[in-house]
Amino acid sequence: MRSKLDKASEELLKYVDETFGFVSVSKLSVELGVKTGLSIWDPFWFRRLVALALEGYIEAKVYREGDEVSIRFRRKDGRKR
């Protein structure tokens, strides 16, 4: 069962659904911070991206090169824009 989303997560989901390709945490943190009036601290938004991915709202893919790890987030295929 999915949890009810708070204002920040709803805005984040909307942002991801309207973005072409993968999202940039640093870019979205500034845009959504201004839009929502909430913290623009990157980990604040990154945790919400991870939660949305774990709950099945968005897609996440991990890329690893030795000790270098990156996670890319994007809307799920088939979701409306």
Name the pLDDT band for 16 (thresholds 50, 70, 90). very high
Specify if 1 maps to a domain.
Answer: no
Specify if 45 maps to a domain.
Answer: yes
Count of structural domains within the chain: 1
Q: What does the pLDDT look like over 56-65, one tens digit per residue?
A: 999 999 999 9
| Six-digit token string for 22 | 């993968």
Specify if 80 maps to a domain.
Answer: no
pLDDT (0 to 100) of residue 73: 92
pLDDT (0 to 100) of residue 12: 93
d(CA 75, CA 81): 9
pLDDT (0 to 100) of residue 21: 85
Specify if 81 maps to a domain.
Answer: no
Specify if 31 maps to a domain.
Answer: yes
CA distances from 72 to 2, 10, 35 (A): 22, 19, 23
Q: Domain range spanning residue 37?
A: 7-75
Specify if 2 maps to a domain.
Answer: no
pLDDT (0 to 100) of residue 79: 58
CATH code, 42: 1.10.10
